[in-house]
Structure 1
């Protein structure tokens, strides 16, 4: 911002105001001179009347008194003329602004007017008054002397009139000069204002326009001369700075495009690597395949010569070399197992911090990786929620620094790797737990069915032996038939268990699987079955479908073994809470067995399966009126989970 007095916003108004004031002053002076000319003309007129009035008074003094009835008294007329003379003379002295009337304020003129006043008051007026006291016939003796005094007095008035006329002539000439000056001022001022506008506004605008036109023609060397310290000067300096910046940008455009292209290519490679690794880590595979694929993707992308992933044993906290790429066998043998705090990898595992180590060209070789010929080693911990899983290593035979951008990329990749490893471990533990739970349920069901049947067969075999030894043929045949019946029942139980554990319904096959199970049950037992499905709701998950089917199968198995029923109905009602009921018209269950939760292994298994999916299981039964197994499964728990 230019100084205040250099700004156009100050200078242009100041110039116009100064020019207007100059014109106003010239006009005011012209009016003043015109006013002086008017006052001088009135003064000349009054002095002429004074000259005539002095002669008139002298003339009246030479006249005789008029006769009676001939008009006003002559003496009064003379006194009136004397009073008018003094009035006019006094008005000449003080002036009259209303006419206007005034004597030019020149010393010589003012002195002459004072002399006239002195002559009037000291000589002429006393002479007139003394003559008034003398009779008219005697005044003639004094008239010659009065004539001489009056001629001298009138001569003074004539001299004063002449000087005033000369002053008026000079004022008239001055007025003409002023008018010519005003004309010249108008012309010169207009020319000066036009010149100033051209100098202060038009010329800088044209200069800027020329610079802009040169810039449009891609002449970035164009510069605008800075010729003032006003707003246009600031604008010219700003234009020059802009032109210099554009010239620099244009000169380095190709270089900056290449740099930007390299940056974008590098960024694209990083994003491609991140996307590729993330996609690979989401594929189903074991941990070793996961880690090896991670090394094969990251190793060439980072330009390293070798890479490895070490896993930390959660029990012993030892660091084991899990997978590697590009490492020499001797180095692998030395680095197979490390303790916490041992070597660089142990230090990074201990602190949980990324470590970048560059070895000197000629050193003492205290580290195995340095002795193997590597100049730089990057070590990044693999951790999930502060749980240290392992280490990721990159080895370089040339000194290499880890840039902040590469550091962020590798830490992100390693974080994804850690999550993938943790997920695989969780899946493995979940599978082991599921297998263990299924084995436990299978053991319970085997104990509930086949084990009891085998115990019964063992007892029947002992009774058959005693009957044969005692020669009781009919009893032996009866026990043999019971043994055959027990064997058939055990066979049916085994077949039922095989079907039971082979059930794996799909997401849209749940109801068809229930229908198929009922058809097989009816074909094996001859018991009539019904399936009723109603309502609408969200589909069950695969785990929920599997457990519900096992509960239905177990309920049907209990009907086959204990109910002696003629008809079984399975009802499925969809909704926010699924309701599954298995009803039969059999003999029912003893209420004491229902109150004792441990009295029947099959009932206990059904309750365990219901608890696993967040459902509740109720068994409603009345002796001789059948049994109802009711399962209530709220889907809100699934959504909340």
Structure 2
């Protein structure tokens, strides 16, 4: 890297912006810019710290020029400790050339013999301090004005990176909890109901055997065998659904692949027709639509005995319209339907609700079933605001 003292402010900030867009690990990025700040200030050592989740301590995420023993003592410091605490609480850079607090806190000769001046530059974003850079100097020289100005800009940019990383982790936790809830609901509406049905039939089977009623016993045994087969099929479907991942290129390529896969598994003629000229959905909306169509196709393969299936995606009057139509036997009736009629349907409706849409399932006059999903499309100005 070139002499950082000669680089214009814009180039240093451009370096930060580039790192923010490419670095997955914010701690590593903060540690790398610690070296840049040390070069700019001619510091002999430095530490970068971030606020812990409880807000009571500063945790070291990177250090340069400190011994392993001193690094261990500096691993965590109380938020109110000395110059770091002042920088955090007052939201402004601090400088100290009296090492009393640091020496007392870590009980190390470094602050009594080698370090003469400490700088603390807070990492700020929208009125919050998220961390601190410490620069340890062996003299009492003050930072030049241009370097102080640059440090202020760096701290705001890196503070933004810290906040973005926090929001990303928070969103990942929310997504994980949502997926677990969705999985629990799917198990409840499919596998759990099937097993509950099997358990009830086992009870009457035992009663029939105890009473010597062979005819009823054979019928109930057949019901149990059918329920076990259905439970096994549902389990395989759940495993398949949670292994499947939407194509990173977007919904339309993902649906094309899904239809191709379904065509091979179901031994049916399946077509996908994208009538909408432009499909603009958020990643979450794409996932909901993908899984609704996936569940619809699975139900067709399990129940409909269809020879031809067509999936269409259209945009009409500010509404996306998805149709999944088949020429099979139509909506199920009879005992098997009483067990399986709600499989996946509750989950499809929950996903539809996330889209603020509507879901309908109807018999076609010519035979078969049509599943229709409609949900509002975001206008360009709505997309910009979200």
Query: Once the two structures are superposed, what CA deviation does each residue of 1:567-599 show, in whole Å capped at 9, x if it has no partner?
Result: 543211147643212235654599xxxxxxxx9
Change (3 A) 1:429 1:366: closer
Cα shift at 1:539: 4.6
Change (3 A) 1:366 1:623: closer
Cα shift at 1:416: 1.7
Change (3 A) 1:311 1:366: closer
- Structure 2 distance, partners of 1:390, 1:493, is 49
Q: Structure 2 unaligned runs (5+)?
A: 104-109, 334-340
Change (3 A) 1:602 1:304: same
2:180 counterpart of 1:445: no
Which residue is equivalent to 2:285?
A: 544
Change (3 A) 1:531 1:330: closer
- Structure 2 distance, partners of 1:525, 1:480, is 29
* C-alpha contact 2:270 2:309 (8 A) present in aligned 1: yes
- Structure 1 distance, partners of 2:173, 2:194, is 30
* C-alpha contact 1:507 1:539 (8 A) present in aligned 2: no
2:362 counterpart of 1:631: no
Query: Once the two structures are superposed, what CA deviation does each residue of 1:69-102 show, in whole Å capped at 9, x if it has no partner?
Result: xxxxxxxxxxxxxxxxxxxxxxxxxxxxxxxxxx
- SS at 1:631 equivalent: strand
Cα shift at 1:441: 0.6
- Structure 1 distance, partners of 2:162, 2:356, is 33
- SS at 2:59 equivalent: strand
* C-alpha contact 2:268 2:308 (8 A) present in aligned 1: yes
Which residue is equivalent to 1:294?
A: 33
- Structure 1 distance, partners of 2:364, 2:16, is 65
* C-alpha contact 2:50 2:59 (8 A) present in aligned 1: yes
For residues 6-405 of structure 1, the aligned pairs below 5 Å read 266-268=5-7, 272-313=11-52, 315-359=54-98, 365=100, 367-368=102-103, 370-371=111-112, 373-405=114-146
- Structure 1 distance, partners of 2:261, 2:284, is 23
Change (3 A) 1:618 1:372: farther
Which residue is equivalent to 1:244?
A: none
- TM-score (norm: length of structure 2): 0.80
Which residue is equivalent to 2:172?
A: 431
Cα shift at 1:496: 2.0
* C-alpha contact 1:338 1:346 (8 A) present in aligned 2: no
* C-alpha contact 1:310 1:321 (8 A) present in aligned 2: yes
Cα shift at 1:431: 1.1
* C-alpha contact 1:589 1:623 (8 A) present in aligned 2: no
Task: Quote the RMSD (CA, aligned, Å).
Answer: 3.4
* C-alpha contact 1:273 1:297 (8 A) present in aligned 2: no
- Say which structure is richer in helix: 1
* C-alpha contact 1:348 1:380 (8 A) present in aligned 2: yes
2:347 counterpart of 1:605: yes
| Higher relative contact order (Cα pairs below 8 Å, separated by 6+ residues) | 2
- SS at 2:292 equivalent: helix
User: In structure 1, which of residues 559, 579, 589 is the aligned counterpart of residue 321 of structure 2?
Assistant: 579
Which residue is equivalent to 1:38?
A: none
* C-alpha contact 1:444 1:601 (8 A) present in aligned 2: no
Which residue is equivalent to 1:248?
A: none
- SS at 1:350 equivalent: helix
Which residue is equivalent to 2:294?
A: 553
Cα shift at 1:533: 2.6
* C-alpha contact 1:572 1:579 (8 A) present in aligned 2: yes
Query: Once the two structures are superposed, what CA deviation does each residue of 1:453-482 show, in whole Å capped at 9, x if it has no partner?
Result: 111222233344444445555544443333
Cα shift at 1:323: 2.8
2:148 counterpart of 1:412: no
Change (3 A) 1:315 1:578: same
* C-alpha contact 2:319 2:374 (8 A) present in aligned 1: no
- SS at 1:374 equivalent: coil
- SS at 2:143 equivalent: coil
Q: What is the count of residue pairs matched by the alignment?
A: 365
- Structure 2 distance, partners of 1:474, 1:526, is 37
Q: Structure 1 unaligned runs (5+)?
A: 1-263, 591-598
2:167 counterpart of 1:422: no
Look at both structures and tell me which one has the larger radius of gyration over its CA atoms.
1
Cα shift at 1:308: 0.8
- SS at 2:245 equivalent: coil
Cα shift at 1:330: 4.8
